[in-house]
Chain A
Amino acid sequence: MSAAFDEKIHATLADPKLQLAVYTATGRLIEKRRKAITPDACPDYQELRSHANDVKRHTIEHLDYYLEKFERNVKAHGGQVIYCRDAPEVADFVLSLAKERLARLIVKSKSMTTEEVDLNERLEHHDLESVETDLGEYIIQLAHERPYHIVAPVLHKTREQVADLFTERLGVPRETVIEKQTMIARAVLREKFLAADIGISGANFLVADSGAVVLVENEGNARLTTSAPKIHIAIAGIEKLIPRAQDLAVFLKLLGRSATGQPLTVYTSFLSGPRREDEIDGPEEFYVVLLDNGRTKVLADREKRQSLYCIRCGACLNHCPVYRKIGGHSYPWIYSGPIGAILTPQFLGVTHEPGLPFASSLCGACAEVCPVKIDIPKILLELRSEVKKSEEREGASRLERLAFRVWAWVMRHPRLYEMAGVAAAALGPSADGGGWVCKVPFNVGPLRAWLSQRDLPPSPPKSFRQMWRQR
């Protein structure tokens, strides 16, 4: 475990206010979900999960087919698809489009994928104002933090902290009533929506047979982001695909219930292409950015590729005894909780934070609540074994470095070198019948590896130095 990971965990554990906030909020979300999936509220909940897992497996196993199908259908409705390998490519695309269209202001609706590529920061470097419009994300942006939770980004902040932040950053009188704080944000953001040149959203689902982007939300900011500006850009990971619009019957029921206990969220938008000729409003341009950024690496592993089934509901975070204690900001990347513990090592490499797959009691709560049945504990175990293997490799090379440092030191001291030579000749090699040395008594580490492929010549009776002196 890295010192930074350890420090963050202990800081969270030592903060009783934060502990209470995280524990209470996740507890409420657990309760909301529980009520929404009772046999009365959702009799076929388990069948829906199994079906969602089947559909996701099928889609991921044939992802190239569905990507191309999606692309064709987006084009058929007048939109464009842009594939991006990584974060800089996403920023480059947005920047070049903004430059061409002389855009200054961008409104954004909540998207973990844009967090993943640090889009706001990359845009700000080029004098583009990019404003988060989900209330939680807006607060996070004002505080220069990253989301604490996939679904509830400011789960860790109290109304007092929000009041201070608004006063400091917006220059408004201190306001601690949550309704009034919300109205302050509404007023500020309303102006942004009406003035924005570009709206950037994520995507909860990409529907292959329709070329559609599906967005679920409660506030209405995603609808405004995708309806008010002249340009809509949706940025999504390539794994977000589902085959058919009709599959939404399964996924929408699971997503709302698992995330916030809602049978359906307040708004579900099904968007395909720019505004059509006979329609009154809507964007004139429609782009979908399909992002790799490490996903194809995950896809290459047959066992672990199920990590890509995730629909970002956050249920595994709420139910994780570890997340509930160490909180979202202890995790090394934007994805926290159990899903973060399996995504981060796969996207950034197991050495990024070797302690991460071990920060779990393997209680299995995450797998039990996952709406698409990702076997998170199993993947954690595999990642643990990968961390161990990488550490062994690292350990072996550490020993080698040490050996060479000792060697260099001995070489710089002629007396020592000579003594070492005498000692080695006396102690070590016992020649076989032919005089060659096949094994040594201190048969360890690199020496063993060396001798497994080669033999040493027998040591001469006298060293070169001895012969030189006796000359």
Chain B
Amino acid sequence: MSRDHVLHKVRTALSRSVGQSIEEAPPVRLSIPEMDIEQRIAAFCARIEALAGKTHRAASAEDARAYVAGVVAGRSAIASNATVLRDCGITALPGIETGITDADQLRALCATAACGISGADYALADTGTLVLLSSRQEARLISLLPPVYIAVVERQRLLTGLDELLSLLPHPAEQTSSMVLITGPSRTADIEQILVRGVHGPGEIHVVVI
């Protein structure tokens, strides 16, 4: 069997024996800067805009709903089952499909919808990143298939950066099969290094911070 063959070759190459213990790994290197919430929001929005994403700081749930309604502008949209979307009344907007729990139905809707709307489990200030954990609330394809993507983030979910995320979630696999970090619209520069947005994922991103 190739498993034993390969592992045997690895051990032989390293002069190690089966089950031999190991030296301690180098310590984890995480550094979390001091940043108050206002600084985080400002840095987060600035980064997203630098990546050609749009941001909106919503003063209230109604404000958030109004902004999302403006972006959707009557087009077809699919919203995730995130509580924040329901709480803001976004799922109740006309023309928005939501509450989907069937994979095939979700996929069919995502493939045709103009806009995908989700919440975010966390957001990273220093890189302008949205963090989504696949769950009953959040599906993978909503932030991926529709050409326009809208994320609604509660301000208390804003972390300083990747280091803080990994210190809060040292073992993401215990919670989800898929954690995805989204930093700006989908892009490519494969042909002549010319930047094009919206290759396979959404080319337009809106982030609403409540």
Contact = CB atoms under 8 A, between A and B. Distances in A.
Given A182-B188, A281-B107, A299-B14, A89 B2 contact: yes
B170 interface: yes
B200 A263 contact: no
Interface string A59-86: 1011111011000010001000111110
A290 interface: yes
Interface in A243-259: 243-250, 252-253
B129 A264 contact: yes
Contacts of A269: 178-181
B190 A194 contact: no
Given A64-B16, A279-B136, A158 B171 contact: no
Nearest to A158: B192
Interface string A36-77: 000000001001100100110011011111011000010001
A135 B14 contact: no
Interface string A292-311: 10001101100001000000
Contact of B10 (A64, A135, A248): A64
A281 B140 contact: yes
A238 B81 CA distance: 38
Contacts of B23: 58, 61-62
B42 interface: no
A281 B103 contact: yes
Contact of B170 (A219, A245, A263, A282): A245
Contacts of B186: 218-220, 266-267
Interface residues on A, range: 35 or more
B149 to A, nearest CB: 10
B171 A85 contact: no
Contacts of A267: 180-183, 186, 201
Contact of B7 (A54, A61, A68, A228): A68
B160 to A, nearest CB: 12
B35 interface: no
B162 A264 contact: yes
Contact of A44 (B6, B31, B136): B31
Contacts of A297: 13
B30 A221 contact: no
A273 interface: yes
A51 to B, nearest CB: 5
A77 B187 contact: no
Contacts of B171: 209-210, 245
A444 to B, nearest CB: 40
Contact of A67 (B10, B129, B169, B184): B10
B181 to A, nearest CB: 4
Interface string B102-136: 11001100010000000000000011010000111
A259 to B, nearest CB: 12
Contact of A272 (B7, B170, B173, B184): B173
Given A89-B2, A276-B176, A266 B135 contact: no
A266 B187 contact: yes
A65 B25 CA distance: 12
A266 B28 contact: no
Contact of A264 (B127, B144, B169): B127
A223 interface: yes
Measured as residues with beta carbon below 8 angstroms from the partner, the interface class of chain B is 35 or more
Interface string A160-197: 00100000000000000011011001100110011000
Interface in B133-159: 134-136, 138-141, 144-145
A224 B186 CA distance: 12
A268 B106 contact: no
Nearest to B179: A270
Contacts of A367: none
Contacts of A244: 25, 28, 170
Interface in A208-242: 209-212, 218-221, 223-224, 227-228, 238
A24 B100 CA distance: 48
A249 B37 CA distance: 22
A274 interface: yes
A154 interface: yes
Interface in A108-163: 133-136, 139, 152-155, 157-159, 162
A292 B8 CA distance: 12
Nearest to B191: A178
Nearest to B18: A64
Interface string B20-47: 1011011011110000000000000000
Contacts of A218: 186-189, 199
A427 B138 CA distance: 93
A123 to B, nearest CB: 19
Contacts of B196: 178-179, 182
A374 interface: no
A264 B130 CA distance: 11
A112 B169 CA distance: 30
Given A62-B16, A186-B200, A244-B28, A270 B178 contact: yes
A24 B194 CA distance: 12
Contacts of B191: 135-136, 139, 154, 157, 159, 162, 178, 181-182
A388 interface: no
A64 B170 contact: no
Contacts of B126: 263
B97 to A, nearest CB: 13
17 contacts: A25-B193, A44-B31, A61-B14, A81-B3, A154-B191, A186-B200, A211-B173, A212-B173, A218-B189, A219-B188, A246-B30, A250-B29, A266-B187, A267-B201, A269-B178, A274-B177, A280-B100
Given A64-B16, A65-B22, A152-B193, 4 more contacts: A210-B173, A246-B170, A280-B136, A296-B10
